[in-house]
Copies of this chain bind each other. A is one copy, B any other.
Amino acid sequence: MFSSPKGLLHSTFNKRRVHIMDIQEIWNARPHTLSISEWGDRIEEHLEGERQNEAIFNLDPDDDREYNAIFVGGGAAGRFGSAYLKALGGRQLVIDRWPFLGGSCPHNACVPHHLFSDCAAELMLNREFFGRYWFSNLDGKIVNMKELVDLFRQGRNGPHAIMNFQSKEQLDMEYILNASARIIDNHTVEVCGQIFKAKNLILSMGSTANKLGIPGEELKGVFDYESFVEELDYEPGDTAVVVGGGKTSVIYGCFFNATGRKTTLVVRSTLLKLIPDSETRGYVIDRMKEQGMEILEGSNLIRVEDDGNGKAGAAIIQTPDGERRIETDFIFTGLGETPNSEEAAEILGLELSEKKEIIVNDKMQTNVPNVYAVGDMIGAPMEMFKARKSGCYTARHIMGEDISYVPRDWPDFVHSHYEISWFGLSEDEAREQYDNVVTIKMPPENENGLNIGLPASDRMMMFAMDKPALSGFQKLVIDGDTRKVLGAHHVGCGAKDAFQYLSRMVKAGLTVDDLGEMDELFLNPTHFIQLSRLRAGNKVLVDL
């Protein structure tokens, strides 16, 4: 959350908030065509160097139309909405506190997640095969985590630079960066002392990681995904405590574990409830445990002890079996996010939910005329596709299209040491709704369980040959009567991208026969095509 005496908005990161209020200088980017690497250097100067107090103005002096919309916040929702509105022939302005477009995702949220998950997958492979082939001997060794955070910090301006380049040179957007927007009313914002007016205001200021609200939380050594990337300035010891049972905590917890740290997940209710299929979920959690992770469900971190020097020294955890004390200098919280909505709500009189989501209709309209809200500000799912699409749909509505957007039935994923993807119904959900549910699984039901040499595919091949139980799990859930696919679930690697397209086909009525007709690229990470074909000849479908 944030608060600001001057009414400045969407500047949730503490360090950044301080300096952003001092911004007075303006650099007119409009006449300059910077290359991507020049943008990279420039962003660096704005972030850490001599241009920290300089706003970037990229406004079109030749367009004297009133703005159709001002996007307050240039993350996924604001940037995509801007691009779309511009493409539809409108005039837009997008304003962001960062010196780049794209928002927190590439800076300290989902992009670093992917880097650390990549490291976790690589490290698991290395640890499973250490001392063999070319793998280094990591037995008992702890991999330096700060070096990997530094790798990200050093590289993250690359994608930032592309966003600025692309948005200006290819998408012809107008933007103001490295500056906060003060919302004045539903048509007006002030930036760097200048007033900007628009027919509509679109709020896309994102969300902020939730806090624990417990004693010791403010100590050095207690991180969330944002501060972990921004503030880690020491190498943590051999023990990590992670609070939360959802995406962020599992992604980071598995990474900490893979670096060789004793890692305990403290989960208030149930770990990874978000994975709908219980068998799939079980496969994921069993592998986490095998990798040495401790999981405390029904538990809460209740206090962080000071080590005497203002740093975390121990985590005190309430478990069903009583209180546990774990000595550690490293605690990570993944507790979900809350929309950065309060201040805008106060200024504009917006209606909020209990979770501080801005309440919108299917056109992303708030209760205040000409004010829209998009992305994380309207609540779950706080995912990239929804942020981007809500921005685009808002643009379409503003430009006169009759649209309706309510995200539903999207595919989803998370990383443990594996990539886990799913969409549609779990087996249990399907059995509740359908009389004749058929499943196709790999490994199939058999008395040797998982310890058999399939599935095998890219990035899982060494496991498949030597430690087959580690090579993944997958399941297709089918209505045996209509032969339609109801859901798909995958643990392994290389299926995530496919699930985007496959889920769309399933929504359009894909059957097991259609699947069997496709041309597989063998060894395909989803073995669904060939397994479906093996069953498609049957008039009465049965499990495989």
Contacts and interface: CB of A to CB of B under 8 A. Distances in A.
A30 B411 CA distance: 43
A21 B446 CA distance: 34
Nearest to A391: B533
Interface string A101-132: 00001000011001101110111011000001
B505 A504 contact: yes
Contact of A496 (B162, B165, B448, B521): B521
Contacts of A389: 517, 519, 533
A430 interface: no
A476 to B, nearest CB: 13
B534 A80 contact: yes
Interface string A522-544: 11111001100111111000001
Which of A118, A383, A468, A544 has the most chain B CB atoms inside 10 A of its CB? A118
Interface stretch (A60-68, A81-89, A219-227): A81-89
A126, A395, A456: residue with the most chain B Cβ atoms closer than 10 Å: A456
A311 interface: no
A148 interface: yes
A440 to B, nearest CB: 10
Contacts of A521: 385, 411-413, 421, 496-497, 499-500
Nearest to A258: B134
Contacts of A537: 83-88, 392, 395-396
Nearest to A544: B170
A520 to B, nearest CB: 5
Interface in A396-424: 396, 407, 410-413, 419, 421
Chain A at the B interface: mostly helix, strand, loop or mixed? helix
Contacts of A421: 521
A520 B384 contact: yes
A502 interface: yes
A419 B524 CA distance: 12
B494 A497 contact: yes
Contacts of A396: 537
Contacts of A460: 118
Interface stretch (A150-158, A189-197, A354-362): A150-158
Contacts of A122: 122, 125, 134
Contact of A143 (B133, B141, B166, B413): B133
Nearest to A453: B158
Contacts of A496: 458, 494, 521, 524-525
A446 B36 CA distance: 7
Contacts of A121: 459
A461 B505 contact: no
A265 B170 CA distance: 40
Contacts of A526: 497
A28 interface: no
A458 B148 contact: no
A446 B35 contact: yes
Contacts of A459: 118, 121, 459, 493
Given A465-B154, A529-B500, A457 B114 contact: yes
A533 B392 contact: yes
A171 interface: yes
A489 to B, nearest CB: 14
Contacts of A118: 458-462
B458 A151 contact: no
B111 A523 contact: yes
A290 interface: no
Which residue, of A144, A156, A389, has the highest number of chain B Cβ atoms within 10 A? A389
A411 to B, nearest CB: 6
Interface in A438-467: 443-444, 446-448, 451-454, 456-462, 464-466
A481 interface: no
A436 interface: no
A503 interface: yes
A495 interface: yes
A145 to B, nearest CB: 10
A35 B538 CA distance: 24
Looking at A141, A386, A498, the one whose CB has the most chain B CB atoms below 10 A away is A498
B111 A446 contact: no
Contacts of A171: 534
A134 B125 contact: no
A497 B497 contact: yes
Nearest to A116: B461
A542 to B, nearest CB: 8
B412 A451 contact: no
A418 to B, nearest CB: 11
Contacts of A456: 111, 114, 159
A475 to B, nearest CB: 15
A269 interface: no
Contacts of A533: 80, 84, 388-389, 392
8 contacts: A84-B536, A84-B537, A115-B462, A118-B462, A158-B452, A385-B518, A411-B521, A500-B520
Pairs of residues from A and B, 3 with the lowest C-beta to C-beta distance, nearest first = A158-B453, A155-B465, A87-B537
